[in-house]
Structure 1
Amino acid sequence: MTTTKPPPRLYTVIFPIEGSGSGQRVLLGLKKRGMGKGLWNGFGGKLEPGETLDDCAHRELQEECGLEAKDLCYVGVLFMICSHHDDLTIFVYTARDLVGSVVESDEMAPQWFTTDKLPYDGCHREARLWWPTMLNGSLFVARFVFTQDDCIQHNIEHVDRARLTQLLSQPGP
């Protein structure tokens, strides 16, 4: 009997960025509970029913660190193909025009990092593969294949804005 996987679960993740060049900093959050507990990541979560992807990114940023993004910029999509649980499609955003004060939430402990001193040893293993692409301003589509214990295959493709926008309406690998 063949079992089919359900469609991928949809998520967003947003990375607040300030400065440029060697002074560029990114705000990461240390996850305090749930998936990724104990790891540094951007701010994000699952798309709620009736919510747009942009709405989800705005909501998660505000809930997890108290900031509001005035210039949400869609920069990439991650397709996570997993042997041990449902697949994930994660829409990646950055923001530079931020309003509010950074606050710790019950889910995340935020901290600014310069981009030359990112805590890769405390992140999801694949972060070191795609974060540099995001932080240098490239638009991208990344595919990762996971077993229970490891990322066994990955591909990161630089794309143009038209291709990236197309994926917003057809979110599948």
Structure 2
Amino acid sequence: MLAEKLSTPIYYLMLSIMILNLFQRKHMATGEKKRFATLWLAGTLLILQIEIGLLAANKQPDWMLIPAFALYAVILFLLRKKIFVFRRTCASCGAPLASREFIGRDDNLCANCAPTPEGEEKPEEEKEEKPQPITIAPPEIDEENRHTLGKGTPREEIPRDTDGIDWDAWEFAEKAVLCYLFRGDEVLLIHKKTGLGRGLVNAPGGRIEAAEMPMDAAIREMQEETGITPKELKEVASLHFIFTDGYSLKGTVFFAYDHEGEARATDEADPFWTPVGEIPFDKMWEDDALWLPKVLEGKRVSGYFIFEDEAMVSQKIIES
């Protein structure tokens, strides 16, 4: 029977994909979406393997493979946004991607176009010039605030309505974290001195570094900005931001309920404790007043926002 012959190669294909997933683990900070894509693909193959195994065990005729593969095709179609996130060429300059970039970078950027962690330089062999696509020139970039273009998307092409964006398919330029630390009825906030949102009030946080897990990044950022080490962290929200200058950011929000150390001013921030009922939303990003009260009520939220500089132009919040 054809079903018996197909069972073995499908099994080895599924095993190969799982082995690939193990290699992706070292790219979790930049390739989380692709790591889950291989898991989803392996899961669909498992379903197909079960279908074919049942057909073989019950000695069904070969034509029964047609509805089995049709069902598999439907599953692939429904999960296409989660599985088909790989591409062979750079999303920015069109250059062929190396294998580590192909399997390990959600943004599908080559070594020349990918953002370099602070304090590191790209190897000389990665600095070679590559042809650049013709795009509308972006506005001047404030390097101190890291308003770099996420995908080289021309300003005129950035959507201004959250409902007009496929958020699952959007390739965010950077990933970041926020951590709200609670002490009784108080929460620790900061007056931000540097970077994106300078001059505003926010929770301690910042970008996730290469090969760093979100929770580890939240602990590190709070240590760097306030001198405090948070404990008992709990993930409570995911935030998605697109700016009309082309920059984009995906954030994970944590609540922490214990800590070590005392808050102190740093070069990056001036920390302060404030009652939860007196959080100064008028001095914070506009989106904070929309999603943070819901999370304080115990709800889990996913927020989607479009900003022009520091002004919010569109928003959508989903509670779960």
| TM-score (norm: length of structure 2) | 0.46
Residues 285 and 310, structure 2, Cα contact 8 Å, conserved in 1: no
Rg comparison, structure with higher value: 2
Shift of 1:137: 2.3
The Cα offsets for residues 112-164 of structure 1, whole Å up to 9 and x where unpaired, read as 111221111211122111121222222110111223463122111112xxxxx
Distance 1:5 1:109 in 2: 29
SS in structure 2 at match of 1:72:
strand
Aligned to 1:122: 283
Aligned to 2:241: 80
Distance 2:261 2:308 in 1: 40
**Equivalent of 1:16 in 177, 181, 188:** 181
Shift of 1:37: 1.2
Distance 2:224 2:238 in 1: 22
Change (3 A) 1:149 1:98: closer
SS in structure 2 at match of 1:64:
helix
Gaps of at least 5 residues in structure 2 are 1-133, 137-148, 152-170
**Equivalent of 2:197 in 32, 36, 41:** 36
Shift of 1:85: 3.1
Read off the aligned partner of 1:79 and give its amino acid letter: H
Q: In angstroms, what is the RMSD of aligned CA positions? A: 1.9
Aligned to 1:48: 209
Aligned to 1:60: 221
In terms of fraction of residues, the more helix-rich structure is 2
Tell me whether 32-41 or 87-96 shows the greater mean CA deviation. 32-41
Aligned to 1:90: 251
| TM-score (norm: length of structure 1) | 0.82
Distance 2:244 2:221 in 1: 27
Read off the aligned partner of 1:144 and give its amino acid letter: F
SS in structure 2 at match of 1:48:
coil
In terms of fraction of residues, the more strand-rich structure is 1
Alignment size in residue pairs: 155
SS in structure 1 at match of 2:272:
strand
Gaps of at least 5 residues in structure 1 are 160-173
Q: Percent same amino acid among aligned pairs?
A: 31
Aligned to 1:104: 265
Distance 2:245 2:291 in 1: 22
Distance 1:43 1:108 in 2: 8
Distance 1:149 1:123 in 2: 10
